[in-house]
Structure 1
C-alpha cells in the first residue's frame, strides 16, 4: 500500500512518486547495517578509552539523525538548486581547508580536522561532493558554450583542491578526488592526448608522494614487503576474517574490536567478517554494488550533461571509497585511513556522504511529463 495518493499534489507526495525507491531502499539497508555494526564494534573501543560503553553509538545516532534530515532536504531540490548548493558548499569548504592548515588539530603528523567543541570537522570529506558538482557544471557549460573556459576553470580548481589536501597532508583523499575528477573529465569528452597527460601526471604525483612523504613510503613498503615493517593491523584484520568463517562467531563474540584501535572506523569491515561471517561481508558488498549500478542505470537515458556528470561522479566517489576501504581490510591495497560509506563511525563522513546521496536522489528523480517548480522547491507533476 502506497503512502501517498497519486492525486496528492503536495511537495512530499511529488518526492515520493518521483524518487528512485529501489535506490532509497538499498541506502536504508546499508545505513541499518552500519548502525548494527556501530553497536557491535564501538563499545569495546569506548571502554578502552575510558568512555561510556555506548559513547560512540549515541554520537553516531545523533550524526545519523542530522544526516538523514540533510539527505531528505537535498533530495527535494531541483537540479538548479542542487548546483547552487554545490557551488556554495564548495566555496565554504575551500575556506575551511585553508583554515585547517592554520588552526587544525594535529594528529599523527597531519592537520585534517577543525575542533568545534566535542565535534571535529573534516573539511576534506565535504569538498568531495561539492567539487564534483562544480566540475560537472564547468564541463557541462563548456560543452554547451564552446567559448566558455569550463575545462580550464575545472583544471585550475582541481589543482587548488589537490594542493590544499597535499598540504595537510592527505594523499588518500587526493588520489580519490583525482580518480573521480579524471573519470568525469573523460566522460565529458576530453581529447585522448589529455588522457595520456593526466595518467602521466598521476604517476608523477604518486612517485613524488612515495619519495617525499615518509608515511606514504612506509605504507607502500609494508604493502609490497610485509617483513619491512609493522603490519599488525592488516594481519589482525585478516585473522578476523579467517576466524569468522562463513557464518561468523556471533554478535558480540569477535576479538578484533578489542585489538585494533580503528575497529569502529577503518577496520569495521573486519569486525563484520569476524562476528557475522562471509555472508554479511557479501551482503555489504552487494548493497554497494546495487547502489552504484542502480544509479548508473538511471543515467542511461539522461540527456542533460550536468546531471549525467554530477551523478556519475558522485557514484564513482561513493563506489571507489568503498573499494579502497574494503581493499585495505582485505590486504589488497596499501593501508589508508578511509571510512567505509555509511558503515564506519564518523560524523563528517556520515554527513558528507548523506549530502552526496541527497544530490543523487534529487538528480535521478523521474522527470518525464514533469516540470521544475519555478520556486526551485522540486519537481511538480503536470
Structure 2
C-alpha cells in the first residue's frame, strides 16, 4: 500500500511564527556553534580527567559531565533567544542588564573570591559570573540608545549609553576584571563608531583610555605582572604560558594523537583558559588552524549579515555582539600563543565554564534575533 502526502509539512504559505523563525534564522551560524560545541565536548574528554585529578574530584569524568550540561544549556539559551523579534530582544536585554548589574553590585559584598578576584556568586555549589550576562545586554541596549539619535536628535541618548557603559565598567574594575573591561570597551566603541561617533568623543575616549590604562598598570600589581610577563618574560612567573608553549611545540603539525597529551596534567586551567594548547598538543597545528577558520568564518558571516540590515538599531547592536564573540575568541587564542597576557577569558563554546557558555549563548542568540530576515522586523521607529 502506498501513501501520498496531500500537502507538504511546512507549506510556503504557512505564516506561523515557527515557520517564519525557521525560514529567517541564519542556520550557517547555528552550524558554526554546533561545530564549536562538538570540539569543546571532544576536548573535555582530553582535558577533563587531568583537571579532575588536579582538583581532587573522585570521578575522572566530572568535568566531562559538566561540559555536556553547560553545552546543552548554552545552546538552549541561544535557540530560545533567537526566537525573539527585535523589539522583544531589546526588552529582554534591558531585563538582563538590570538583573546583572544588581548581581554585580551584590558581588561587592557577598561574592566568592578566587585568584585575587571577586567575580562569582555561589549558590548550592553552583557558581555564576554575572559579567558574562551583562556584556551582550549592555551592547544591545547601547546600540538601541545610540540609534535613537536619528529619530530624536535632541534626546540624551549618547549620555544614557555612556552612563550604562560607565556603570558596567566601574563594577568590572571593582572585581577586578580588566580582561572583560577591555572586551566590553572594544565592543562599545564598535557600537559607537557604527552609529556615528562624534569627533569630540574620539578625543574623550582616547584620553580617558590612556589615563585609565596607566592608572590600572600603576595600582594593580597583577595587571603589571601580566603585562611584564609578555614584555619581559625573564622577570615574571611565566609558568602557564611556558607550559602552553611546550604543549603547542610538542603537538607539531599533526599532534601527538588523541589522549596522548602530557602537558595538560601540569597546565593550570587546561580545561578552561588553555584548552587551545591541549588541542594543539593532541591534534596539532592543522586542527588549530581549522578551529580558527571556523571562528573567522562565523565572524565574517555575522558582520556581513549585520551590514545588510537597514534598521540602525539592529545593525549597530548586531555588529557589537559579533565583536564580543569574535574578539573574545581572538584574545583567548592570543593568550595561548603568548601574544597577549593571561586574561582569564574562555574560548567561546569550547572552554569549560557554565557562565561563559550561557553568556555566549545569550550573545549569539541576541545577534541571531537581530539579523533574521525582513519578516522579523518590528514596525515603527523603535525597530
TM-score, structure 1 normalization: 0.94
User: Could you tell me how far apart the structure 2 residues matched to 1:105 and 1:341 are?
Assistant: 23
What's the offset of the Cα at 1:5?
Answer: 4.3
Counterpart residue number, 2:66: 59
Give yes or no for the alignment of 1:92 onto 2:134.
Answer: no
Q: Distance in 2 between matches of 1:349 and 1:311?
A: 19
Q: Which residue in the other structure is 1:16 paired with?
A: 22
Of 238, 244, 249, 2:251 maps to: 244
Q: Spell out, residue by residue over 1:247-299, the C-alpha distance to the aligned partner (whole angstroms, 9 max, x if none).
A: 10111100121011200000000001000001110111111111110011112
Question: What residue is the counterpart of 1:44 in the other structure?
Answer: 50
Distance in 2, matches of 1:168 and 1:189, equals: 32
Q: Is 1:147 aligned to residue 143 of structure 2? A: no
Superposed CA deviations along residues 200-251 of structure 1, whole A, max 9, x for unmatched, are 2111111111100011011111211111021111011011111101110111
Please list the CA deviations of residues 36-73 of structure 1 after superposition, one character each: whole Å capped at 9, or x if unmatched: 11121111110222211111111121122222221111
User: Which residue does the alignment assign to 2:226?
Assistant: 219
Show structure 1 runs of 5+ residues with no match: 375-382
**Equivalent position SS for 1:142:** coil
Counterpart selection for 1:257 from 260, 264, 277? 264
- Unaligned regions of 5+ residues in structure 2, if any? 1-7
Match of 2:118 in 1: 111
Structure 1 residue 148, shift from structure 2 partner = 1.2
| Contact 2:86-2:376 within 8 A present in 1 as well | no
Task: State the Cα distance separating 1:373 from its structure 2 match.
Answer: 8.0
Cα offsets for 1:319-346 (capped at 9, x unmatched):
1111111101001111211101001000
Contact 1:4 1:16 survives alignment (8 Å): no
Using the TM superposition, give the Cα deviation of residue 4 of structure 1 relative to its aligned residue in structure 2, in angstroms.
4.5
How far apart are the structure 2 equivalents of 1:174 and 1:149? 24
Preserved CA contact (<8 Å) 1:74 1:358: yes
Counterpart residue number, 1:329: 336
Aligned 8 A contact 1:6 1:17 in 2: no
**Equivalent-residue separation in structure 2 for 1:260 and 1:242 (angstroms):** 14
Q: 2:214 matched to 1:207? A: yes
Instruction: Name 1:127's counterpart in structure 2.
Output: 134
- Quote the offset at 1:190 in angstroms: 1.6
Q: What displacement does 1:7 show?
A: 4.0
* Equivalent position SS for 1:133: helix
1:11 Cα deviation after fit: 3.0
**Deviation digits for residues 148-189 of structure 1, max 9, x if unmatched?**
111001111111111111111111111111111112111111
Of 234, 238, 248, 1:231 maps to 238
1:165 and 2:178 aligned = no
- Equivalent pairs counted in the alignment come to 371
What is the deviation of 1:118? 1.9
What CA RMSD, in Å, does the superposition of the two structures yield over aligned residues?
A: 1.6
Would you say 1:349 and 2:347 are equivalent positions? Answer: no
